[in-house]
Structure 1
Amino acid sequence: MRIIIFLVLVVTTETGRSQIFFDTSSHINNNRAIFSLVVSVKDSIAYAGSFNGKENNDLFNNQSLTKNVEAVLIGIAIDKGFIRSLDTKIADFLPELKDETDKRKLNITLGDLMNQSSGLWHENLERLDIYLGLNNPSGHVLKQSLLSEPGTELYYNNAASHLLSVILSKATGQTTFDFARKYLFEPLGIQRVEWAKMKDGYYDGSGLLSVRMSTIDMNKIGRLLLNGGHYRGKPIVSQKWVEALLKPTKTFPAPWGLPNTEYGLCFYHKRYKDKKLTYGMGWGGQFLILIPDLDAVISVNQEINDQTAIQQSETFMDRIFPMIFDWINAGNQKSSDKSYKNTEQYCLKTTSLIQ
């Protein structure tokens, strides 16, 4: 692993950042799991680094960041009138629930799915092969008994999250992937995406099979949200929906992530060093982190290895993220918009020098 970073070090001097750059840390340089890391600030790429033989434009397995992509797509569908609102009952799009004997299922809303509070049956995380082997995974989850009262408690549920893709397809009359290409990926200039289907024929909405995108393109989705749903001056998703995602009115304590994190509408939410964080997190240390107060987005992809996945996430959030945050914060206090544009110029060159 070899990274040429001298151009970035020049920029840190010009912008007033510390000359001790965060990627000199052993937590990155000696990290065999990290593949790609991109930081954007004020619409410019402030840092792009790739590691362990990977490139920033490679397609990576994003795991549960798939849910964050789905969250944006649901908002676009609401904006365009395909779905009424977060309060829409999922039974409106899943007619098999009409004959359900447990009438509580008829009260489950789209918001409950996005809050991981539907109460529906969930897969066994230690035997995902059983769930992934089902011929009709979406139908299976609907037929099982409720595990809790809908809307009352969080239980992380990939099986229920997949229903977001099913509902999106039924509401729009398009596959999730086709809808995403037309209304999200192509407007953002995202050309290379792979997305797997579950055995029920619907594109995976949970992240277990994952949408595969580059780290740079995932960063664009975060940037879209920080820009109020606009890209290059064109609206892609409404400001109203962006505000709903970044400031959800209903959240639940998250069972993992940074301490004192809340979960709502497919994202995690926390205050960190007096700054608001909204972030997505995927198995193995895939992250999409939005810092609105600093106008910054961090995206990272790492190896998918079940044996080290939890450690990889903890290393990034406990060791690497604080260094990046402090570096961004220092630059935000001392830099002008012009300086960041200069940073983009240098860092894009640096990206091409990563070997």
Structure 2
Amino acid sequence: MDLLSPTPAHGEALYTEELRSHLETWKIHDVVILRGGELLWEWHDKNIDRVGAIYSCTKSILSALIGIAIEQGHMIGIEEPVTDFFPLAAADDERKHAIRIKHLLSMTSGLEWPDFDKPYWKMKRTNDWITFVLSQPMAHAPGEAFAYNSGGSHLLSAILTKATGQSTYAYAEEHLFQKLGFRKPRWNSHDGIYEGGAGLHLTSGDMAKFGQLYLQGGLWNGEQVIPRSWVETSTTIHHKGLAHYEPPIFGEYGYHWWISTEAHNGVVDYCFAKGYGGQYIFIVPSYDLVAAIRKEPEGKSSAMAAKQLLFRHILPFCS
């Protein structure tokens, strides 16, 4: 299935003068919209799709890989303790024995990680990222509180590497990227571990394909690439997350996926992968729609522009 092969430009009428102005004002770089599994409209500010950083959208890709690895028997499941992979992790605090895979996926490990991922930047300046994350003190019991933690995502990448005996990139290439026909992904690594919280570079077209895979319940060309049960559980709300954050660029949280209900956003139920500054993969089941949007990263609040594009232009056009 090549969703981005030449097709009739069904969405040409979407490209109004108003939208053209907004794309410029909002510093949007790329838009790929799929509806019903077909390309509805594609736009790129440089007239060509490019491999680029997707930042924390990487987390949702990693979530899919964890689901695949569990299905293949490389991991016991979401209840497996992190100390099965890092036996010395609880040396300084017995409560760390209670941290499970599910807690890393739902950002509820209990590790102290304040100021919306601020320790992530400190982690990146150290030589041993894994030790840095595992040595953080416990602020809460696992499962009790949400704290956005890219360090925990990096632990998941390290766990996947230990469990499968392959690098995260090699495992992704074999079980996901090749199956969807991704175009030369790049993935940053440190000390032999591919970065779990960010670091992946994809085309916007491949971002859309990944969203379509989830919209189809993990099925691609007749093959169950990701277990349907994992697609469902990873996009189910496991914590209220950042539902009350203003502006409302986030939502509630699943397993490395954000979820926003109509009650939260006033428009429609959907889930999404989100990267720094407004990189999004939106999945809107009631519209049978996927939208991959990339913009100039200018900070957290500027990410609202991508949501405005979805709410003010894309969904009304598809109504």
Q: TM-score, length-normalised on structure 2?
A: 0.88
Within 5 A, what are the aligned runs for 1:253-292? 253-254=241-242, 256=245, 258=248, 261-272=251-262, 273=266, 275-292=268-285
**In the TM superposition, what whole-angstrom CA distance separates every residue of 1:233-270 from its partner, at most 9, and x where no partner exists?**
1111111111112224x222316473782112111111
Alignment equivalent of 2:83, drawn from 82, 91, 97:
91
| Counterpart in the other structure of 1:46 | 40
- What is the CA–CA distance in structure 2 between the aligned matches of 1:31 and 1:144, rounded to whole Å? 41
| Counterpart in the other structure of 1:314 | 304
C-alpha contact 1:122 1:141 (8 A) present in aligned 2: no
| Counterpart in the other structure of 2:208 | 219
Instruction: Say if 1:22 and 1:261 are closer, same or farther in 2 by CA, change over 3 A.
Output: farther
Pairwise CA distance, 1:12: 5.4
| Counterpart in the other structure of 1:80 | 72
Pairing 1:233–2:222 present: yes
**Uncovered stretches (5+) of structure 2, i.e. residues with no partner:** 1-7
AA at the equivalent of 1:117: T
- What is the CA–CA distance in structure 2 between the aligned matches of 1:294 and 1:103, rounded to whole Å? 47
Pairwise CA distance, 1:96: 2.1
Instruction: Say if 1:217 and 1:158 are closer, same or farther in 2 by CA, change over 3 A.
Output: same
Name the stretch that deviates more: 78-87 or 319-328: 319-328
Alignment equivalent of 1:152, drawn from 138, 144, 161:
144
Pairing 1:185–2:173 present: no
SS in 2 for 1:84: coil
AA at the equivalent of 2:239: T
**In the TM superposition, what whole-angstrom CA distance separates every residue of 1:164-190 from its partner, at most 9, and x where no partner exists?**
101100111110000000000011111
Alignment equivalent of 1:251, drawn from 210, 223, 239:
239
Pairing 1:118–2:128 present: no
Pairwise CA distance, 1:288: 0.7
**Uncovered stretches (5+) of structure 1, i.e. residues with no partner:** 1-6, 14-18, 331-355
Instruction: Say if 1:187 and 1:260 are closer, same or farther in 2 by CA, change over 3 A.
Output: closer
SS in 2 for 1:187: helix
C-alpha contact 1:117 1:155 (8 A) present in aligned 2: yes
- What is the CA–CA distance in structure 2 between the aligned matches of 1:73 and 1:189, rounded to whole Å? 16
- What is the CA–CA distance in structure 2 between the aligned matches of 1:96 and 1:27, rounded to whole Å? 55
Instruction: Say if 1:260 and 1:310 are closer, same or farther in 2 by CA, change over 3 A.
Output: closer
Name the stretch that deviates more: 212-221 or 113-122: 113-122
Instruction: Say if 1:39 and 1:114 are closer, same or farther in 2 by CA, change over 3 A.
Output: same
- What is the CA–CA distance in structure 2 between the aligned matches of 1:12 and 1:131, rounded to whole Å? 44
**In the TM superposition, what whole-angstrom CA distance separates every residue of 1:130-164 from its partner, at most 9, and x where no partner exists?**
32111111111112211222110101111111111
SS in 2 for 1:49: strand
Aligned residues: 306
Instruction: Say if 1:279 and 1:23 are closer, same or farther in 2 by CA, change over 3 A.
Output: farther
- What is the CA–CA distance in structure 2 between the aligned matches of 1:191 and 1:286, rounded to whole Å? 18
- What is the CA–CA distance in structure 2 between the aligned matches of 1:168 and 1:23, rounded to whole Å? 47
Instruction: Say if 1:91 and 1:212 are closer, same or farther in 2 by CA, change over 3 A.
Output: same
Structure with max Cα Rg? 1
- What is the CA–CA distance in structure 1 between the aligned matches of 2:113 and 2:87, rounded to whole Å? 20
AA at the equivalent of 1:184: L
- What is the CA–CA distance in structure 2 between the aligned matches of 1:144 and 1:260, rounded to whole Å? 25
AA at the equivalent of 2:289: A
AA at the equivalent of 1:265: Y
- What is the CA–CA distance in structure 1 between the aligned matches of 2:240 and 2:33, rounded to whole Å? 28
Pairing 1:34–2:28 present: yes
Higher RCO (C-alpha under 8 Å, 6+ residues apart):
1
Within 5 A, what are the aligned runs for 1:190-209? 190-198=182-190, 200-207=191-198
RMSD: 2.3
Pairwise CA distance, 1:129: 4.5
- What is the CA–CA distance in structure 2 between the aligned matches of 1:12 and 1:60, rounded to whole Å? 24
- What is the CA–CA distance in structure 2 between the aligned matches of 1:46 and 1:286, rounded to whole Å? 19
AA at the equivalent of 2:101: L
SS in 1 for 2:25: coil
